[in-house]
Structure 1
């Protein structure tokens, strides 16, 4: 019993892992990757145009870390005011690591493009008001 629990993955887990490499699964994964890339490419230039500084262009995630230092003094306060005034939820970077600057926030792009565009429009109005 011990060898099945500690030495190797259970057979059902091995079979599930193997299924991830079948043609249909790989095709679906690539389709999702391309959709996330499209959303990322939609967000980055618009965020930069609003004054956000992109900390690093994501290459495998579904979120972007941005610096709001030119817009706000504190990422947590920015996030709190943004959701209260616009209904747009973003997350303070400090929630993910104490070593991140306090002006960094994380913006996820898990929503469809039309919702992201609406959120960007609300954010732009919030920043310019």
Structure 2
């Protein structure tokens, strides 16, 4: 979907199935470096923003926030960089799954500097359950 390889008439069925697979896996991914950066974008673009945010907010392994629950301050090379027993696996400082930031960046506030400081406007460019 991210590379526009599906025919127009198949896109809805493909994205429906993609969302179903995520839900069937209890909002977990088991994807690699090549597809992960596009996953949330595709879900959101084709009407599954709620599934994308639920996937993003997942805390159990495999997920982005699993690392955070284990005290990570960097992005790990694999979804299970530290096992539940505390055993290390792979690099604990890697770029790959950090591609999720590309999905989050549009949520950063935009400041309208044309207003005086007392009247500054803040606009959030996209909303989801992460933005409270």
TM-score when normalising by structure 2: 0.29
The structure with the largest strand share of the pair is 1
Name whichever structure is richer in helix by fraction. Answer: 1
- Relative contact order higher in (CA < 8 Å, ≥ 6 apart): 1
